[in-house]
C-alpha cells in the first residue's frame, strides 16, 4: 500500500481514526479468505467506458461467472447517480487512482483529462472506520468470508463458518470480487467487495466495508491492477 518502499511517496497517510482501539476487530467484518483465482494484474482488454449510448441493460444483466449465476440489477429502480458513469472530476489525484468517498457513497476511478469513472457504493460500519492511502495488493475472485468472533458472539449460528468460511457464491457477503487494501506489508483488513443485496447501494449499512453491485465490482476488477493506489476520504476530505 502507500509505503515509501513501493512508491517513493514517503510514509503512508493514515488518519487518527485508523489508530482507534478495536479497529482490527471492526474491519474483520470485511475479511476475505481466498478465492477461486487471485489475479496479479489488471485485464489487458478493459471494458468500454460508459458513454451516451452505453447499454446499461447489458451491463447490469444477469450473467454466469465461474459457474455462479449473478442476478440482474434492477438499475432503473435506483437513482441514476449510482449507475456506473463517467463524470467530471477535480480531486487532483493522477489517472488510475481509486478514490473512495464513503460519505457521498461514491467510488471513483480517475481518468485522464479531469474525468473519472464513478460507481455507487454502500458503506458498512467498517467503511467509516478507516481512511487514508493504501494499495490494492490482492484481488480475489469469489472470495470466502469468515465472520469475525464478535459477530459470532451476537449470532452463534455463524460459528459453523469460522473454520472454513462462508461458501463462495451469490449469497456470500463479499459477492463476486474483493479487492484487499494493504499498507506496505500490512493488511488493513479494508475491502472493496461485491454484495448480495443490491438495495444497499447508496446507503449506510450495518456491516462490511465498501460494497458495490457485483456487476460493478467485476467491472472495476478488470480495470485496476494490483498496486493501484486507493485513497479513502475522511469526512473532512469528502467531495
Q: What is the CATH number for 133?
A: 2.40.440.10
Higher per-residue pLDDT: 41 or 209: 209
pLDDT, residue 20, reads 34
Name the active-site residue from 193, 194, 210, 224: 193
Is 193 assigned a catalytic role? yes
Is 209 assigned a catalytic role? yes
Nearest CA-CA partner of 222 in 12, 65, 18: 65
Name the active-site residue from 26, 126, 209, 212: 209
Mean pLDDT, residues 96-122: 97
pLDDT, residue 125, reads 85
Alpha carbon distance 29, 96 (integer Å): 28
Stretch among 6-15, 120-129, 174-183 having the lowest mean pLDDT: 6-15
* pLDDT bucket at 34, cuts 50 / 70 / 90: low
Domain that holds residue 22: 4-43+122-237
Residue 81 CB coordination number (10 Å): 13
Nearest CA-CA partner of 128 in 210, 239, 236, 200: 210
Nearest CA-CA partner of 31 in 193, 157, 167, 184: 193
pTM for this entry: 0.82
Q: Is the pLDDT of residue 15 over 60?
A: no
**Count of domains observed in the chain:** 1
Q: Is the pLDDT of residue 173 over 80?
A: yes
Contacts of 139 by beta carbon, 8 Å cutoff, 6+ apart: 38, 39, 40, 177, 178, 179, 180, 221, 226
Alpha carbon distance 47, 63 (integer Å): 16
Q: Is the pLDDT of residue 9 over 60?
A: no
Q: Is the pLDDT of residue 71 over 60?
A: yes
Mean per-residue pLDDT of the chain: 83
Position 165 in a domain: yes
* pLDDT bucket at 24, cuts 50 / 70 / 90: very low
Amino acid at each position: 500500500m502507500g509505503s515509501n518502499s513501493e512508491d517513493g511517496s514517503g510514509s503512508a497517510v493514515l488518519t487518527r481514526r485508523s489508530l482507534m482501539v478495536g479497529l482490527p476487530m471492526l474491519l474483520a467484518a470485511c475479511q476475505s479468505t481466498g478465492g477461486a483465482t487471485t489475479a496479479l494484474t489488471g485485464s489487458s482488454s478493459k471494458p468500454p467506458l460508459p458513454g451516451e449510448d452505453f447499454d446499461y441493460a447489458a451491463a447490469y444483466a444477469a450473467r454466469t461467472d465461474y459457474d455462479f449465476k449473478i442476478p440482474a440489477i434492477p438499475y432503473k429502480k435506483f437513482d441514476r447517480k449510482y449507475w456506473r458513469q463517467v463524470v467530471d472530476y477535480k480531486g487532483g489525484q493522477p489517472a488510475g487512482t481509486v478514490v473512495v468517498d464513503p460519505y457521498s457513497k461514491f467510488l471513483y476511478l480517475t481518468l485522464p483529462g479531469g474525468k473519472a469513472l464513478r460507481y455507487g457504493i454502500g458503506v458498512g460500519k467498517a467503511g467509516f472506520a478507516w481512511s487514508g492511502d493504501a494499495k490494492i495488493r490482492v484481488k480475489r475472485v469469489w472470495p470466502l468470508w469468515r465472520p469475525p468472533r464478535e459477530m459470532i458472539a451476537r449470532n452463534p449460528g455463524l460459528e459453523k463458518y469460522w473454520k472454513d468460511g462462508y461458501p463462495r457464491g451469490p449469497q456470500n457477503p463479499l459477492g463476486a470480487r474483493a479487492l484487499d487494501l494493504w499498507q506496505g506489508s500490512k493488511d488493513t483488513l479494508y475491502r472493496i467487495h461485491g454484495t448480495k443485496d443490491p438495495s444497499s447501494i447508496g446507503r449506510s449499512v450495518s456491516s462490511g466495508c465498501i460494497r458495490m453491485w457485483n456487476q460493478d465490482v467485476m467491472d472495476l476488477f478488470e480495470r485496476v491492477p494490483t498496486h493501484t493506489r486507493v485513497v479513502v476520504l475522511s469526512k473532512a476530505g469528502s467531495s
